[in-house]
């Protein structure tokens, strides 16, 4: 398996090497391989050219950052190639791969395939085709062999596809469905709903320490709401605050760290739920202070089938 070479390899330093370490390594290697010290060595000039190029890249922040991205792309491509090679190797091996062990029936079928192959060879041997019946047996045995081979190949392809999907998309924990009748009096964690608009007890309050505020307004509505504020992180949603709002109330979620959030809310009367558009909260330090976000969100009634609601409460 080929290994790609990097500027770090040329200077014999690690990818986390500091600028001082890179500079020291360059000095040592350039002194060792300088053409003036290696007269008659045709590779000395080539070596020095490589050292100069690597030093120029690794001492420039932008160039080094781009080189690191290139390395990560090469590593990702290498992992994909190794995974594909592993699949091909496992599919061609005598024993099936661990992630796709066949059932005992399939194992017996594989042994039967070998016996069918032997039956074909025996039936087709010189002098054996003495009758139409023998010919029919040979043809049927051949068809059985072809069907067996195609079935095994198809099973291998399905197993490889399952493996590829599992590697590409890590499994996330499944959220249990919410029993609306069970949570009218108590939150999903078993705690009683607060007497007023407030955080639900028993849930952690994450993404604290910032200066931004998100005010949730349930003033227009005559129904209570259970609300989750989630932070979007690399395609995932992480619930950071859990809030209960009685009818005609509002609540300010304070001290939020910068980031992209969204709000999902559940109407505790009819079970309709909705999710807001992404909300970007920023915090910027300026010469005269820190500028931060102060956002208000008014909750609106949701009609099932309106496009914003979700009939599956497990999505909440």
The H-or-E segment that residue 260 falls in is strand 259-267
| Angstrom distance (rounded) from CA 246 to CA 92 | 63
Q: Phi/psi zone of residue 151: left (φ > 0), alpha (ψ -120 to 50 degrees), beta?
A: alpha
Measuring CA to CA, which residue among 244, 232, 225 is closest to residue 281? 232
71 in the same domain as 108: no
Instruction: Write out the two tokens for 85.
Output: 């090679």
75 pLDDT exceeds 80? yes
- CA dihedral in degrees (307, 312, 315, 316; nearest 10)? 80
Instruction: Write out the two tokens for 127.
Output: 């002098």
Instruction: Write out the two tokens for 182.
Output: 């069970």
310 in the same domain as 203: yes
Which of the given ranges, 44-58, 74-88, 167-181, 295-309, has the highest pLDDT on average?
A: 44-58
Q: Is residue 234 part of a domain?
A: yes
> Tokens 């559940």 map to which residue?
266
| Total tally of structural domains belonging to the chain | 3
Q: Is residue 130 part of a domain?
A: yes
Residue 241 sits in a domain whose CATH number is: 2.60.40.1120
- Contact at 8 Å (CB) between 219 and 195? no
Longest dimension (CA), the chain: 103
- List Cβ neighbours of 38 (8 Å cut-off, separation of 6 or more): 44
74 in the same domain as 27: yes
Instruction: Give the CA count within 13 Å in the CB-facing half-sphere of 268.
Output: 20
| Angstrom distance (rounded) from CA 34 to CA 222 | 82
Per residue in 192-238, pLDDT (tens digit) is 999 999 999 998 888 888 999 999 999 999 999 999 999 987 778 88
User: Which residue range(s) make up the domain with 106?
Assistant: 102-168
pTM for the model: 0.44
Q: Is residue 63 part of a domain?
A: yes
Per residue in 128-171, pLDDT (tens digit) is 445 556 667 666 767 776 666 666 566 656 655 554 444 333 33
Instruction: Write out the two tokens for 11.
Output: 């200077």
Q: Is residue 31 part of a domain?
A: yes
69 in the same domain as 158: no
Q: Is residue 36 part of a domain?
A: yes
Q: Is residue 157 part of a domain?
A: yes
Q: Is residue 67 part of a domain?
A: yes
138 in the same domain as 52: no
Residue 61 sits in a domain whose CATH number is: 1.10.287.110
Measuring CA to CA, which residue among 206, 207, 172, 200 is closest to residue 266? 200
Q: Is residue 175 part of a domain?
A: no
Among residues of the chain, what percentage have pLDDT more than 70? 63
- List Cβ neighbours of 142 (8 Å cut-off, separation of 6 or more): 120
301 in the same domain as 211: yes
Instruction: Write out the two tokens for 7.
Output: 């500027």
Instruction: Write out the two tokens for 27.
Output: 């000095």
251 in the same domain as 152: no
């Amino acid at each position: 398996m080929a290994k790609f070479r990097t500027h770090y390899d040329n200077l014999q330093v690690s990818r986390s090497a500091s600028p001082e370490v890179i500079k020291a390594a360059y000095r040592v290697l350039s002194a060792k391989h300088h053409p003036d010290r290696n007269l008659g060595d045709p590779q000395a000039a080539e070596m020095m050219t490589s050292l100069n190029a690597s030093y120029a890249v690794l001492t420039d922040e932008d160039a080094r950052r781009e080189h690191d991205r290139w390395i990560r792309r090469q590593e990702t491509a290498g992992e994909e190639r190794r995974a594909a090679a592993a699949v091909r190797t496992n599919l061609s091996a005598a024993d099936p791969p661990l992630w796709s062990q066949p059932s005992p029936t399939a194992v017996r079928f594989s042994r039967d395939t070998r016996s069918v192959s032997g039956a074909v060879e025996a039936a087709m041997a010189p002098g054996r085709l003495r009758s139409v019946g023998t010919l029919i047996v040979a043809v049927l045995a051949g068809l059985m062999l072809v069907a067996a081979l195609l079935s095994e190949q198809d099973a291998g392809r399905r197993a490889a596809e399952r493996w590829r999907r599992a590697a590409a998309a890590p499994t996330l924990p499944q959220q249990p469905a919410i029993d609306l009748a069970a949570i009218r009096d108590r939150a999903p964690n078993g705690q009683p709903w607060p007497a007023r608009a407030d955080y639900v007890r028993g849930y952690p309050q994450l993404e604290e320490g910032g200066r931004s505020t998100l005010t949730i307004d349930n003033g227009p509505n005559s129904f209570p709401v259970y609300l989750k504020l989630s932070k979007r992180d690399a395609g995932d949603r992480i619930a950071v605050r859990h809030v209960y709002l009685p009818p005609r109330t509002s609540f300010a979620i304070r001290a939020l760290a910068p980031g992209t959030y969204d709000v999902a809310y559940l109407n505790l009367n009819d079970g309709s739920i909705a999710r807001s558009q992404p909300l970007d909260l920023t915090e910027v330090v300026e010469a005269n202070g820190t500028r931060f976000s102060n956002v208000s969100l008014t909750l609106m009634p949701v009609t099932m089938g309106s496009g914003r609601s979700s009939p599956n409460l497990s999505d909440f």
